Amino acid sequence: MDATIVIVTKDRREMLADALASAVAQEGDVEVLVIDDGSSDGTAQMVAEQFPDVRVHRYETNAGLVVRRNDAARIARGRVIVSIDDDAVFTAPDTVAQTLRDFDADPRIAAVGIPYVDVRRSPQVHQQPPDDTGCWIGPVYRGTAHAVRRDVFLELGGYRERIVHQGEEHDFCLRLLDAGYLVRYGRAAPIEHRESPRRSNRRMERYGRRNEQLLCATYYPQPWATLYGVGYAGKSILRGIRSDGGLVWIFEGILRGVGAWMTAGRRPVSRATFALDQRLRRARCLPIEDISPRR
């Protein structure tokens, strides 16, 4: 099977129905897999009744998005996993087919960031390359709109489950880059991310700020690990002050991050990987010709 479209969901059956309608319309040899992370709103029954060709794997207890995306990778049948959130929809029937073609440009490409729009925030298209003629490499993909080779994902151990929420993509993509693989920005029609209002800003800040520190403590070479850890914390505090909201949650996340420094376990990536990651972040994306093959 060419690809598996994975949607992890919990108690969003109405939004999930829109996501599934767009997923089952995708062209090619594609399966659709729903991971029900302990829903109590009849999600699994809705899928069975309205989308009988969709596979549903239901868990009785909630473990979170990061854990369930790892579970999905183990049971998926496709060679490529295409992942969208349950509040996102494909806008064209050939999105998966085009994304699969985007892998063919170079054997180092192990993931594709599919263009997407946060429609409730702005019309800006993210993960969109400057042009459609070249092969453009980015530093990281967004969880709501990406595809990854299943064999590479499993080879690298998938997402770090300690993260729980917020930032698993950066963590994984840094390991991906250190192993000699690349993330391409794709050329498909943008996915619409219709961000659900049922999001906990407290949870996002708490885990987001903690996981920034966890990333630095684990992967960044010194002295950049310490410098970036302090920098991430400072920027978050300034943002909280300027926005006049969430400062308590930010401090809570930073304090949890300080604890993560004690228990993370150092596994720093190479200095060459760190330098390339930072270069990609500053440029947003670079043509693949500008990235030297790994020796």
Residue 102 has pLDDT above 90, yes or no: yes
Which pLDDT score, from 0 to 100, does residue 66 have? 95
Residues 248 and 102 in one domain: no
Residues 85 and 179 in one domain: yes
pLDDT band at 240; cut points 50, 70, 90: confident
Is residue 236 included in any domain, yes or no? Answer: yes
Angle 77-82-83 from CA coordinates, rounded to 5°: 115
Which pLDDT score, from 0 to 100, does residue 36 have? 97
Residues 141 and 170 sit within 8 Å (Cβ to Cβ): no
Residues 220 and 173 in one domain: no
pLDDT band at 294; cut points 50, 70, 90: low
Which pLDDT score, from 0 to 100, does residue 190 have? 98
Each residue's pLDDT tens digit, 142-192: 999 999 999 999 999 999 999 988 899 999 999 999 999 999 999 999 999
Each residue's pLDDT tens digit, 39-84: 999 999 999 999 999 999 999 999 999 999 999 999 999 999 999 9
Is residue 281 included in any domain, yes or no? Answer: no
Residues 172 and 232 in one domain: no
Residues 29 and 106 sit within 8 Å (Cβ to Cβ): no
Residues 78 and 174 in one domain: yes
Residues 79 and 223 in one domain: no
Which residues are paired to 88 by β-bridges?
A: 193
Report the first-to-last Cα separation within the chain, whole angstroms.
32
Residues 134 and 154 in one domain: yes
What is the Cα–Cα distance from 29 to 96, expressed in whole angstroms?
10
What is the Cα–Cα distance from 79 to 73, expressed in whole angstroms?
10
- Determine the structural domain holding residue 74 and report its residue range: 3-193
Residue 34 has pLDDT above 90, yes or no: yes
Of 193, 218, 237, the domain-final residue:
193
SS3 readout for the chain: CCEEEEEEECCCHHHHHHHHHHHHCCCCCEEEEEEEECCCCCHHHHHHHHCCCCEEEEECCCCCHHHHHHHHHHHCCCCEEEEECCCEECCCCCHHHHHHHHHHHCCCEEEEECCEEECCCCCCEECCCCCCCCCEEECCCCCCEEEEEHHHHHHCCCCCHHHCCCCHHHHHHHHHHHCCCEEEECCCCCEEECCCCCCCHHHHHHHHHHHHHHHHHHHCCCCHHHHHHHHHHHHHHHHHHHHCCCHHHHHHHHHHHHHHHHHCCCCCCCHHHHHHHHHHHHHCCEEHHHCCCCC
pTM here is 0.94
Is residue 240 included in any domain, yes or no? Answer: yes
Mean pLDDT confidence for 226-232: 96
CA count, 13 A, side-chain hemisphere, 22: 24
Residues 96 and 26 sit within 8 Å (Cβ to Cβ): yes
Residues 127 and 142 sit within 8 Å (Cβ to Cβ): yes
Is residue 283 included in any domain, yes or no? Answer: no
Is residue 279 included in any domain, yes or no? Answer: no
Check which CATH number belongs to the domain holding 181 and give it. 3.90.550.10
Residue 295 has pLDDT above 60, yes or no: no
- For residue 240, CA distances in Å to 78, 227, 246, 254 come to 42, 20, 6, 12
Q: In the structure encoding, which two tokens stand for residue 37, read together?
A: 């992370």
Which pLDDT score, from 0 to 100, does residue 244 have? 65
Residues 65 and 126 in one domain: yes
Beta carbons within 8 Å of 128's beta carbon, 6+ residues apart: 115, 185, 190
Mean pLDDT of the chain: 94
Residue 197 has pLDDT above 80, yes or no: no
